[in-house]
């Protein structure tokens, strides 16, 4: 699926919730279902700075597509990551680099994050794009 279509899908899914407590509940459920990453990949160089919770991210490329794996010690963070990876994992590096992630604003996520978490989210996106740029140049 294309990045744009996945984003549309997520926006639709969030459309059915009335309150932010329901949205949080959904994000938490997503967080619980994120597959654990290898303990070996939970190394300091994979940590994303700027989060109150710890976030590890690493990437692989196969068949021309980039796969991302991420984990966090906080569930909400994990849920947010899972949304991000659903959109950006298994895509072509050039598409990842150009992706305009407007679903974050459209589902109202950014307004409901603390500044600290919003910064963390930005750093996460930056790091994902950084990986994509790396793979694109290879």
Partner 1 sequence: MDIKKNIDSIRNDFPILSTSVNGNKLVYLDNAATSQTPNCVIDSISDYYKNLNSNIHRGVHFLSQKATEIYEETRFKFKKHLNANSTKEIIFTSGTTHSINLVANGFNNSLKAGDEIIVSSLEHHSNIVPWQMLCEKTGATMKVIPMNQEGELNLNAYEDMLSKKTKIVFVNHVSNALGTVNPIKFIIDRAHSFSAKVLIDGAQAIPHFKVDVNDLNADFYVFSAHKFCGPTGVGILYAKQSILEDFPPYQGGGEMIDEVTFEKTTYADLPNKFEPGTPNIAGVIASGIALDYINGIGLDNIKKYEDELLSYATQKLKTINNLKIYGTSQNKTSVISFNIGDIHAYDIGSIIDNLGIAVRTGHHCAQPIMDYYNIPGTIRVSFCFYNNFDEIDKLVNALNRAVKMLS
Interface positions with partner 1 (CB under 8 A): 20-21, 24-25, 28, 52-54, 73-77, 112-114, 117
CB of residue 92 vs partner 1: minimum separation in angstroms? 34
| Minimum CB distance to partner 1 smaller for 56 or for 135 | 56
| Minimum CB distance to partner 1 smaller for 110 or for 112 | 112
CA distances (Å), 10 to each of 5, 32, 88, 103, 135, in order? 9, 17, 13, 7, 26
Q: Is 29 a catalytic residue?
A: no
| Chain centre distance of CA 65 | 16
CA-based diameter of the chain, in Å?
45
> Which member of 3, 10, 48, 51 is catalytic?
51
d(CA 101, CA 82): 14
| Minimum CB distance to partner 1 smaller for 112 or for 126 | 112
Supply the residues annotated as catalytic.
51
């Amino acid at each position: 699926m294309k990045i744009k279509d996945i984003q549309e899908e997520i926006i639709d899914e969030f459309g059915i919730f009335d309150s932010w407590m329901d949205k949080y509940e959904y994000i938490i459920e997503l967080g619980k279902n994120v597959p654990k990453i290898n303990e070996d990949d939970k190394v300091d160089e994979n940590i994303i700075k700027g989060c109150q919770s710890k976030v590890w991210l690493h990437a692989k490329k196969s068949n021309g597509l980039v796969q991302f794996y991420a984990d966090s010690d906080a569930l909400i963070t994990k849920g947010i990551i899972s949304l991000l990876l659903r959109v950006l994992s298994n895509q072509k590096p050039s598409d990842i680099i150009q992706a305009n992630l407007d679903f974050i604003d459209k589902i109202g996520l950014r307004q409901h994050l603390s500044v600290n978490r919003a910064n963390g989210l930005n750093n996460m996106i930056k790091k994902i794009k950084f990986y994509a740029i790396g793979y694109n140049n290879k």
